[in-house]
Amino acid sequence: MVAMTIAKLQKKKQQGEKIASLTAYDASFAKLMVEQGVDCILVGDSLGNVVQGRSSTVPVTMTDMVYHTECVRRGAPEAFIMSDLPFMSYGTLTDTLKNAAQLMQAGANMVKLEGGDWLVDSVKALTQRGIPVCAHLGLLPQSVNVLGGYRVQGKQEAQAVQLIEQARQLEAAGAQLLVLECIPNSLGKRVTEALTIPTIGIGAGPDTDGQILVMHDMLGMNSEYLPKFAKNFLEEGDGIAGAFRQFSEQVKSGDFPELKHSYEG
């Protein structure tokens, strides 16, 4: 198995090849994902919701993130792994560097943090010290209390222009990937075309360079609610491995997401 790298992800964008990403939190699922063609694994602070049963990602700690990153790395030694810096673990530059180093030492290839232009100095500091960064714009789950809930972002033109400018600033600071969450599909396309780094969408339309879903959503594990941007791949896959394979193949062929999984605007 050839290990995925940032350079290979960049090449995929340049060649118009889609990137398939999923969240994982333990060794067994991580191993299955890589075997079925998933390009990147995110050890997401979404574990607060889907593993710990919490109502948001805010209570997730660095101890949690280090533990689950270590688990995923053991299961997928060759995988490209991104790990979330959890709530308030990057409020100061000192905390950012210390906590990002912990995730890298636990097995991450890249750290992810949520926010716009206020993170420019942090992104510069991390990349200068050899820590690759994935930025995250749009809906920011760690800021749900400020945002007033889980709402589509960037619907107004002024907001869209601001988001594009923030994306450019983060790229200029050294970010090498960008996650776009819950924004209109037209804005997902505009941001993707404005950047040279790959964009990974979750509810950002079909025109981003890749797609990511929370594993529990794409396996239909929450029978009470399936996000608009998600799809139950277990219904059409041959078991869990087949669901991961279907997701990877449909992302790379452009069959997922369909417009019905996107937000208009």
21 among the known binding-site residues?
A: no
- Cβ contact 164:175 at 8 Å: no
Helix, strand, coil % in the chain, rounded to nearest 5: 45, 15, 40
45 among the known binding-site residues?
A: yes
209 among the known binding-site residues?
A: no
121 among the known binding-site residues?
A: no
The closest alpha carbon to 23, from 38, 8, 4, 12, belongs to: 38
Backbone angles phi, psi at 68, to 5 degrees: -75, -30
Residue 127 burial (C-beta neighbours within 10 Å; 0-12, 13-18, 19+): middle
Backbone angles phi, psi at 172, to 5 degrees: -65, -30
Which entry of 17, 181, 224, 258 is annotated as an active-site residue? 181
238 among the known binding-site residues?
A: no
Active site residue 181: yes
Nearest 5°: the CA angle 221, 4, 40 is 20
User: Which residues make up each annotated binding site?
Assistant: 45-46, 84, 112, 114
Question: What residues act catalytically?
Answer: 181
Detail the residues annotated as belonging to a binding site for 3-methyl-2-oxobutanoate: 45-46, 84, 112
- The binding site for Mg(2+) comprises 45, 84, 114
